[in-house]
């Protein structure tokens, strides 16, 4: 009887293609929407997290001025740092892995007939340690180059591509403003940051070279430090604030004229944002699941009149209540399962396409897929089964006369 029941159900499904496919469609859309949105949201979150790890979550940055505001608001009247501040940080702050002074300026880099606007960083080899950045080819600066401010540079892969194309840049010269410098190394690629900046669009030169040939002073615009593993960045931040207040003679009650930024805080804020976004997407998806569910409900309830008469007929010619119920249950389960499977397939497809075009990793959350599937299945079964159950419990004559 079981096989027979399943066959009966299949026959009933095939018999009413429109109703069946509308029901399936409701489930398909609901399930697919949830899977797509949650997968894309999860991919975006994962991407942001990995970028933040890439950025260095043990990194802190200290700059003069009262805060990082958009539009370069940090550039204020506060006194700039110099190498003495850098040395003081290196000596007096506990638990640091590396300390790198950084001054930066956007400049036109020229090589042969090509030119490219990029950001030029005057720094030391410590910058590579702080950023956990390795070289793709060539070498880092020598002590002598850094001490005497030689005209050498290390370039990012974007600059390499724009200025040299496929050619080997090592040993070649690029012109920055009024001077030439020799390329001694190429950085490995870091890709885009989560702020959308191209991290590989960069030229590193020794700080001394920058001070002498570009800035014309001995200032240090900011200091990057990285904490050793196991050292709390919050503690480092506190120590740095204490040290800088002391060095800059800021009395109690007066505001800092510098600020220390902990990348971990930013990382957490960003991850939090994407998580909120994912939740939002999930909520939208849940609504579409609900709408899909209402669609299923509608179709099932609309067909109740016809189905009630059918049930009446079946009862009249000798079907038991449980025969009818089994048939309708199987029918609802088959429809819902079809819809669920199609929904999962469609969801995976759109999620894969979406993550391909949005360039986020494709990370499937099987639990969400299962929940979406179960939800639709339950709606399908409940609304397919319960009207049928009510009808099957009527006296046959009432079911037959149902208008």
Partner 1 sequence: MNNRSPAEKGRETLIELAGITRTYGMGAATVYALRGIDLRILRGEFLAVMGPSGSGKSTCMNILGCLDTPTGGSYLFKGIDVGGLSRDQRALLRRNYLGFVFQGFNLLNRTSAAENVELPLVYRGIPPRERRRKALAALEAVGLSGWGTHTPGELSGGQQQRVAIARAMVIEPELLLADEPTGNLDSRSSQDIKELLRAFNWGRGITVVMVTHDGQMAAYAERVIHFLDGEIYRDEDNGKRPV
List, in sequence order, every residue forming a beta bridge with 120; answer none if it has no partner.
105, 203
- 259 — alpha (psi -120 to 50), left (phi > 0) or beta? beta
With binding defined as CB under 8 A, does residue 218 bind partner 1? no
Indicate which single residue of 53, 276, 287, 320 sits in contact with partner 1 (rule: CB under 8 A).
320
351, burial (CB in 10 Å: exposed 0-12, middle 13-18, buried 19+): buried
Contact 210, 120 (CB under 8 A): yes
Handedness of CA 312, 315, 317, 322 (dihedral sign): positive
In the complex with partner 1, the residue whose CB is nearer, 7 or 53, is 7
With binding defined as CB under 8 A, does residue 11 bind partner 1? yes
Window contacting partner 1 (CB under 8 A); options: 23-31, 291-299, 311-319, 334-342 = 311-319
With binding defined as CB under 8 A, does residue 315 bind partner 1? yes
d(CA 30, CA 291): 7
Site string for partner 1, 267-306 (x = CB under 8 A): ---------------------------------------x
In angstroms, the Cα distances linking 306 to 19, 220, 309, 345 are 12, 82, 5, 32
With binding defined as CB under 8 A, does residue 317 bind partner 1? yes
Question: What sections of 61-110 are H helices per DSSP?
Answer: 83-92
Judged by CB under 8 A, the number of residues near partner 1 is: 25
With binding defined as CB under 8 A, does residue 367 bind partner 1? no
Contact 200, 190 (CB under 8 A): yes
Give φ, ψ of 69 to 5 degrees: -115, 155
Beta strand spans in 232-299 (E): 258-262
With binding defined as CB under 8 A, does residue 326 bind partner 1? no
**What is the maximum alpha-carbon separation in the chain?**
104
In the complex with partner 1, the residue whose CB is nearer, 1 or 367, is 1
**Shortest separation between residue 317's beta carbon and partner 1, angstroms:** 4
Identify residues 16-35 at the interface with partner 1 (CB under 8 A): 16
In the complex with partner 1, the residue whose CB is nearer, 107 or 400, is 400
Indicate which single residue of 88, 321, 342, 350 sits in contact with partner 1 (rule: CB under 8 A).
321
Indicate which single residue of 15, 178, 249, 252 sits in contact with partner 1 (rule: CB under 8 A).
15
In the complex with partner 1, the residue whose CB is nearer, 20 or 58, is 20
Binding region for partner 1 (CB under 8 A): 1, 4, 8, 11, 15-16, 306, 309-310, 312-323, 395-397, 400
């Amino acid at each position: 009887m079981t096989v027979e029941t399943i066959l009966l159900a299949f026959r009933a499904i095939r018999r009413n293609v429109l109703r069946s496919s509308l029901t399936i469609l409701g489930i398909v859309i609901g399930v697919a929407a949830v899977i797509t949105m949650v997968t894309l949201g999860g991919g975006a979150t994962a991407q942001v997290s990995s970028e933040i790890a890439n950025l260095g979550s043990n990194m802190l940055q200290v700059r003069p001025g009262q805060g990082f505001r958009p539009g370069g608001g940090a550039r204020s009247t506060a006194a700039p740092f110099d190498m003495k501040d850098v040395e003081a940080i290196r000596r007096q702050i506990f638990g640091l892995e590396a300390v790198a002074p950084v001054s930066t300026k956007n400049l036109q880099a020229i090589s042969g007939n090509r030119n490219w606007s990029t950001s030029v960083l005057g720094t030391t080899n410590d910058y590579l340690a702080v950023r956990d950045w390795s070289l793709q080819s060539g070498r880092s600066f020598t002590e002598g180059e850094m001490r005497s401010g030689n005209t050498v540079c290390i370039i990012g892969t974007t600059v390499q591509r724009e200025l040299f194309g496929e050619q080997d840049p090592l040993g070649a010269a690029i012109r920055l403003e009024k001077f030439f410098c020799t390329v001694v190394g190429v950085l490995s690629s870091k890709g885009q940051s989560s702020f959308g900046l191209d991290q590989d669009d960069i030229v590193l030169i020794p700080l001394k070279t920058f001070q002498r040939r570009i800035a014309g002073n001995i200032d240090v615009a900011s200091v990057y430090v990285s904490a050793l593993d196991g050292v709390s960045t919050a503690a480092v931040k506190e120590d740095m604030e204490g040290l800088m207040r002391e060095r800059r003679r800021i009395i109690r009650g007066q505001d800092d004229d510098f600020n220390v930024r902990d990348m971990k805080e930013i990382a957490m804020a960003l991850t939090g944002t994407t998580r909120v976004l994912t939740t939002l997407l999930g909520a939208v998806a849940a609504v579409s699941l609900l709408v899909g569910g209402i669609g299923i409900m509608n179709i099932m309830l609309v067909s109740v009149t016809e189905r009630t008469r059918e049930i009446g007929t079946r009862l009249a010619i000798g079907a038991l209540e449980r025969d009818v119920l089994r048939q309708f249950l199987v029918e609802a389960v088959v429809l819902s399962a079809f819809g669920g499977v199609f929904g999962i397939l469609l969801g995976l497809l759109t999620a894969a396409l979406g993550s391909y075009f949005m360039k986020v990793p494709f990370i499937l959350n099987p639990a969400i897929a299962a929940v979406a599937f179960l939800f639709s299945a339950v709606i399908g079964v409940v609304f397919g089964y319960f009207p049928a159950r009510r009808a099957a419990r009527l006296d046959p004559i009432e079911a037959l006369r149902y208008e």
